């Protein structure tokens, strides 16, 4: 090729890359662009780089040499393990390398004749102060604060609020809630009500497992590195020491006497044993293995050992991952300055129902008996989600009648509608059923039927099943009562009832709300698995444990809402110390978390 056609190629590639980045909203620094253009097949490589970057924690839509270096370090590390062809690098200086016949063309970012490390390091030095190219203008700009403040944008914005009066007398203010100026924009994106019939036949269990497998398999397939995964049934054809990547549901996991993990995974074609060594160099793997429970989908890479005398063989695993959510996840933003209040476990009808705290909550929502800041915040609330256990129910646990002030389920709902009718009309109430409400105990649960909820419906409450997903002003909230949280605590060491958000993170990482089947959590054998987290929510709301908590995981806001009920003897027997009277609020336009403490007055 002559110089001129090389130059044309270069310009065409550059334009195509910039167009591609413009479409995906990603910026690139000049040195990174220059570097990518030097790669073989730069157009293919940029697609791989974009995919891989989305799983890097510090990636904030700016392709910098640092990001590229992180990708290439990973690649070199893998490549050195697989004995792939590559050039000398600080990671494998004195190792002899041989060509890998099955090397995945797309997986390696290799620049001819030059070490990635060296090349990137030199580009990195050049990059200092050179700015960012934004593909929209194709011009270099100096990084602004928002570009640099990735860490800041990951910070949790939290405010604690109380109702201590600020001296303003009643006559000095009028409560003018801004939320009144906005129409309700509520869409129910997912609700199992009416779609979860079971025939009670064995086939139902089979279909549920198949649905779970297929959904989780497809989600895992979206991770770029799983493109190389082979079906388990094809593994046995491989020879000794072959590098294998595969994925499947965990059928069994146990720790061996030597402290290694022995795991069996299966897909539709068969099952295979894995060993994760105790002394594995990859500490991250061990940590993941420690938190694996049965029926979770995992992706693994390792070295195959076929075993002797027709034994089934085993993969010595050097890399494990769960589906998780991409680091680049950005929540949807409301264009309107409104908030959502997330509560659960009011347990109306229980002797321990905190009517005093409820009255304070109602005062707060009506802008009464509070302070200026509280009124401002209350005025933004457009939605109130009640995530299960609205009433205490009847016959839910042994001797419950002794804990009830209202022993009739209809009367409990009547009382509930009286209490909810005190909430200002401009606030839309959504009630999703819990294990104390009069629906079946097994999840997924339908909405509470009209015969109980008619008075609630009359005052405008929207009754939905559990789990459900709602959308309010673009923002998606996954509402799940949390029945399986107790199983998670029992099975995974380090998880505790008083840190409910840690359990919620595990749900997101394995993309399932009740990953294990057949423990305490009752799961209905319906033909479709409603408990797979197929789409990533902006807000994830649970209840059930009665202990408030908030955190963010990869930009998803996690809220466990606490309760309006003091400790019962039943809870005491499980060592649960509830946190009644803390109400979590989230601003739909900023994701700021506000924790209203109704006790602090």
Using DSSP's 3-state secondary structure scheme, residue 387 falls into strand
Tokens 């693994």 map to which residue?
300
Q: How far apart are CA 217 and CA 248, in angstroms?
A: 7
Site string for Fe ion, 385-414 (x = CB under 5 A): ----x-------------------------
Q: Is 548 in the site for ligand D5M (CB under 6 A)?
A: no
- Report the distance separating Cα 80 and Cα 86, nearest Å: 8
Cis peptide before 467 (omega within 30 of 0): yes
Scanning residues 246 to 285, which ones bind ligand D5M (CB under 6 A)? none
389 binds Zn ion (CB under 5 A): yes
The entry of Zn ion, ligand D5M, Fe ion, none that residue 574 binds, CB within 5 to 8 Å by partner kind = ligand D5M
* Contact flags string 48-67 toward Zn ion, x per CB under 5 A: --------------------
For residue 415, give both structure tokens.
């009382």
How far is 406 from 584, CA to CA, in rounded Å? Answer: 27
50 vs 559, beta carbon nearer Fe ion: 559
Using the Cα atoms of residue 565, residue 569, residue 574 and residue 575 in order, give the sign of their dihedral.
positive
Residue 542 interacting with Zn ion (CB under 5 A): no
Residue 512 lies near ligand D5M (rule: CB under 6 A): no
Residue (108 or 433) nearer to ligand D5M, CB: 433
- Give the nearest distance from C-beta 385 to ligand D5M in angstroms: 17
484 binds ligand D5M per the rule CB under 6 A: no
Structure tokens at 276: 């994760």
Q: Quote the DSSP letter at residue 73.
A: H
Count of alpha carbons within 13 angstroms of residue 112, beta-carbon side: 6
In angstroms, give the least distance from the CB of 598 to Zn ion: 20
Residues 6+ apart with CB under 8 A from 526: 192, 195, 196, 197, 198, 204, 208, 444
**C-beta of 182 vs 397, nearer to ligand D5M:** 397
Q: Does 574 bind ligand D5M (CB under 6 A)?
A: yes
Strand order in the sheet with 62-63: 62-63, 27-28, 132-134, 139-141
Min dist CB 154 to Zn ion, Å, is: 32
Using CB under 5 A, which of the segments 106-114, 119-127, 223-231, 536-544 binds Zn ion? Answer: 536-544
Give 362-381 as a DSSP string: HHHHTT-SS-HHHHHHHHTE
Q: At closest approach, how far in Å is the CB of 563 from Fe ion?
A: 6
Q: Is 53 in the site for ligand D5M (CB under 6 A)?
A: no
Selection from 558, 482, 478 nearest residue 189 by Cα:
478
Nearer to Fe ion, 260 or 344 (CB): 344
Distance separating alpha carbons of residues 326 and 554, to the nearest angstrom = 8
Among 473, 544, 552, 554, binds ligand D5M (CB under 6 A): 544
| Of the residues 127, 345, 352, 529, which one makes contact with Fe ion according to CB under 5 A | 345
**Is 435 a binder of Zn ion (CB under 5 A)?**
yes
- Minimum Å gap between C-beta 577 and Zn ion is 16
Q: Could you give phi then psi for residue 475, rounded to 5 degrees?
A: -90, 130
Bridge partners, residue 109, by sequence: none
> Could you give the CA distance from residue 510 to residue 533 in angstroms, rounded to a whole number?
9
Nearest residue (CB) to Zn ion, 228 versus 441: 441
Number of residues that bind Zn ion (CB under 5 A): 4
Nearer to ligand D5M, 223 or 546 (CB): 546
From residue 499, alpha-carbon distances to 291, 488, 550 in Å are 16, 12, 9
Site string for ligand D5M, 341-380 (x = CB under 6 A): ----x-----------------------------------
Residues in contact with ligand D5M by the rule CB under 6 A: 345, 389, 435-436, 486, 544-546, 571, 574, 576
Residues making contact with Zn ion (CB under 5 A): 389, 434-435, 544
């Amino acid at each position: 090729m002559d110089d001129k056609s090389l130059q044309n190629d270069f310009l065409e590639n550059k334009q195509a890359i910039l167009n591609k980045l413009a479409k995906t909203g990603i910026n690139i620094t000049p040195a990174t662009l220059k570097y990518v253009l030097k790669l073989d097949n730069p157009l293919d490589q940029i697609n791989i780089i974009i995919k891989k970057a989305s799983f890097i924690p510090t990636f904030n839509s700016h392709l910098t040499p640092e990001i590229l270096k992180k990708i290439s370090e990973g690649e070199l590390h893998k490549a050195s393990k697989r004995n792939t062809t590559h050039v000398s690098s600080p990671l494998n200086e004195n190792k002899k390398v041989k060509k890998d016949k099955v090397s995945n063309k797309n997986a390696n970012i290799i620049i001819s004749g030059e070490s990635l490390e060296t090349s990137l390091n030199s580009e990195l030095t050049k990059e200092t102060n050179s700015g960012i190219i934004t593909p929209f203008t194709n011009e270099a700009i100096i990084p602004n604060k928002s570009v640099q403040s990735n860490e800041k944008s990951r910070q949790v914005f939290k405010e604690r609020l109380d109702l201590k009066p600020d001296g303003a007398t009643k006559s000095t203010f009028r409560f003018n809630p801004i939320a009144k100026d906005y129409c309700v924009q509520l869409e129910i994106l997912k609700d199992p009500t009416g779609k979860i019939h079971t025939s009670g036949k064995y086939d139902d269990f089979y279909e549920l497992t198949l649905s779970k497998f297929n959904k989780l398999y497809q989600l895992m397939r979206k991770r770029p590195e799983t493109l190389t995964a082979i079906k388990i049934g094809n593994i046995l054809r491989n020879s000794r020491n072959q590098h294998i990547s595969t994925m499947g549901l965990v059928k069994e996991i146990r720790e061996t006497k030597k402290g290694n993990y022995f795991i069996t995974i299966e897909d539709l074609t068969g099952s295979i044993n894995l060993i994760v060594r105790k002394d594995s160099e990859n500490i991250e793997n061990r940590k993941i293995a420690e938190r694996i429970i049965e029926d979770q989908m995992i992706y693994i890479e390792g070295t195959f050992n076929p075993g002797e005398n027709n034994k089934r063989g085993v993969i010595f695993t050097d890399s494990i991952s769960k589906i998780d959510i991409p680091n680049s996840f950005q929540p949807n933003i409301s264009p309107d300055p409104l908030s959502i209040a997330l509560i659960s476990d009011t347990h109306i009808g229980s002797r321990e129902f905190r009517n005093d705290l409820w009255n304070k909550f109602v005062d707060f929502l009506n802008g009464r008996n509070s302070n200026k800041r509280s009124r401002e915040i209350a005025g933004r609330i457009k939605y109130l989600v009640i995530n299960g256990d609205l009433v205490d129910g009847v016959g839910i646990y042994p001797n419950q009648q002794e804990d009830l002030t209202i022993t009739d389920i209809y009367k409990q709902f009547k009382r509930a509608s009286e209490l909810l009718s005190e909430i200002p009309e401009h606030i839309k109430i959504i009630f999703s059923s819990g294990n104390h409400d009069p629906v079946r105990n097994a999840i997924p649960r339908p909405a509470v039927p009209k015969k109980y909820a008619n008075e609630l419906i009359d005052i405008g409450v929207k009754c939905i099943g559990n789990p459900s997903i709602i959308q309010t002003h673009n923002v998606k909230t996954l509402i799940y009562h949390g029945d399986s949280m107790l199983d998670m605590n029992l099975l995974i060491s380090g998880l505790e009832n008083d840190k409910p958000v840690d359990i919620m993170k595990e749900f997101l990482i394995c993309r399932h709300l009740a990953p294990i089947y057949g423990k305490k959590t009752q799961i209905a054998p319906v033909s479709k698995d409603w408990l797979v987290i197929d789409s990533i929510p902006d807000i994830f709301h649970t209840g059930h444990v009665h202990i408030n908590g908030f955190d963010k995981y990869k930009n998803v806001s996690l809220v466990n809402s606490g309760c309006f009920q003091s400790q019962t003897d039943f809870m005491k027997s499980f060592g649960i110390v509830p946190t009644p009277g803390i109400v979590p609020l989230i601003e739909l336009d900023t994701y700021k978390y506000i924790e209203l403490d109704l006790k602090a007055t």
